Amino acid sequence: MGPQHPMTHGLWNLRVRIEGEVIKDVEPEMGFLHRGIEKISEDRHYNEIITLMDRTCYVAGLNWEHLFIVAAEQALHIEPPERAEYIRVLSAELQRIASHLMWYAAFCQDLGLTTPFLYGMRDRDLILDLFQSYTGARLTYEYMRVGGVRNDLPLGFTDRCRKVVDWLMDRFVEYDRLCLSSTIFNERCNGLGVLLAPEAVAYGVTGPMLRSAGSHRDIRKDRPYSVYNKLQFEVATANTADVTGRYLVRMEEMRQAVKISRQCLDWLDDNPGPVMASQLPRWLGAPYAPVGNEAYLLKRNYPTGLGFSMMEEPHGEAGAYIVNDGGEHPYRVKFRSPVLINIWAAKRYLPGYRVADIPPIMGSVDVCVGECDR
């Protein structure tokens, strides 16, 4: 199945060995969308890599910007102001809702439910409108910077954002009514793609897939980054370990994301301030050195260090490891893609089911091939 099969949601291939209708063995094949992001990063300034991060996962661009920026700041020994951290967390949580809505739309479309597809896409647009109002873009934001964020939120943004999340909270009730009362949804989702917690841990599965099996692992809670330790929220879990469980976890995660967003908005209303660190090294802001002016280059003082960040991205545990050996470019950038591992574990959770079960099961993984292949 693939690389151009409606089930794949991107370019990847699933080799399926079957006996009649029953799946005996599967082998995912990747690489159709490999753009060498890690290689290109070695040749770019830190702030230029942010452009690539939006293309890494094109439905969760701000989460990946956040991931890279936190690792880069550790490698460069830079502290961002607190207001920038709150804006980043707000962006990441809104992006989480947008990503889950995209998943909801595409997943229901796979099942043959067209109404949820239209609702999901319609409501995601409201969040993209919000992003457009402060980043200027709807998909490729290039908003975060080493040392803060590019610009502050525009006037009246917090009120507009509150209206949108209030509206979304009502819509989540409607989504649940639409899906959980649908015979098609229940027949095609209940008890499919079961992956119990011990196996999920052994196979490296993370994110909503792991939490649907009853695990409480959520990096935002277990190892808080940015300002998550100052925010109140619950970890969404389910205990069915199947496709329905993953649906329930994502729905609850969206509600929790709204809760976090509201706290961020309240804080941002009360605490104006700078959104970029002062005293940033000049070479971070100047992308290209003047040609032939070696004296200018020699004056620069480059720090060295290692940067490591792990984050709860909408798909699972995403990671970045940056080796900075002193210079304007990182020496090595390594990303951990949650989707690559979640897809690869299909060897464990697909065999035994039927061929017609593949679209709902793989749909419940929330595949984003951009980050998988990088």
Partner 1 sequence: MKTSELAASLTAKFGGRILGVDEFPGLLGRVRFDPAIATELFRTFRDDLGFVHLSMVGATDWVDHREVFYALWSDTDRVYVMLSTNLPPDAPTVASAVPIWPSANAHEREAWDLVGVRFEGHPDLRRIFMPEGYAYHPLLRSFKIHEPEDLEVKVRSD
Catalog residues that contact partner 1 under the rule CB under 8 A.
30-31, 34, 36, 38-39, 43, 74, 201-206, 215, 217, 222-223, 306, 308, 310, 317, 319, 321, 323, 331-332, 334, 336, 340-341, 344-345, 373-374
Burial class from Cβ neighbours inside 10 Å (0-12, 13-18, 19+) for residue 34 reads middle
Of 113, 116, 241, the C-alpha closest to 184 is 113
Lookup result for tokens 């941002």: 268
Task: Say how far apart CA 168 and CA 228 lie, in whole Å.
Answer: 22
CB contact at 8 A, 314 and 99: yes
Min separation Cβ 289 and partner 1, Å? 19
Closer residue to partner 1 in complex, CB, 116/319: 319
Closest CA to 315 of 360, 366, 364, 255: 366
Distance CA 336, CA 309 (A): 10
For residue 314, the minimal CB distance to partner 1 (Å) is 17
**Given the complex with partner 1, which of 122 and 216 has the nearer CB atom?**
216
The distance of closest approach from Cβ of residue 267 to partner 1 in the complex, given in angstroms and rounded to an integer, is 23
Q: How far is the CB of 303 from partner 1 (least distance, A)?
A: 14
Nearer to partner 1, 187 or 222 (CB): 222
Tell me which DSSP letter residue 228 carries.
G
Q: Indicate left, alpha or beta for 276 from its phi (over 0: left) and psi (-120 to 50: alpha).
A: beta
Between CA 2 and CA 352 the distance in angstroms is 20
Nearer of residues 144 and 311 to partner 1, judged by Cβ: 311
Contacts of 185 (CB under 8 A, 6+ apart): 108, 111, 113, 179
Closer Cβ to partner 1, 157 or 321, answer by number: 321
Distance in Å, CB of 181 to partner 1, minimum? 36
Rounded distance, CA 171 to CA 149, Å?
A: 31
Closest distance to partner 1 from the beta carbon of 357 (Å): 23
Angle of helix 82-111 versus helix 114-135 axis, rounded to 10 = 160
Q: Shortest distance, CB of residue 219 to partner 1, whole angstroms?
A: 9
Phi, psi (rounded to 5 degrees) for 242: -120, -170
- Residue whose CB is less far from partner 1, 138 or 332: 332
- For partner 1, which is the closer residue by CB, 215 or 237? 215
CA distance 165 to 173: 13
The nearer residue to partner 1, 86 or 335, going by C-beta atoms, is 335
With tokens 């990182």, the residue in question is 330
What does the alpha-carbon distance between residue 297 and residue 291 come to, in Å, rounded to a whole number?
A: 10
In angstroms, give the least distance from the CB of 38 to partner 1. 6
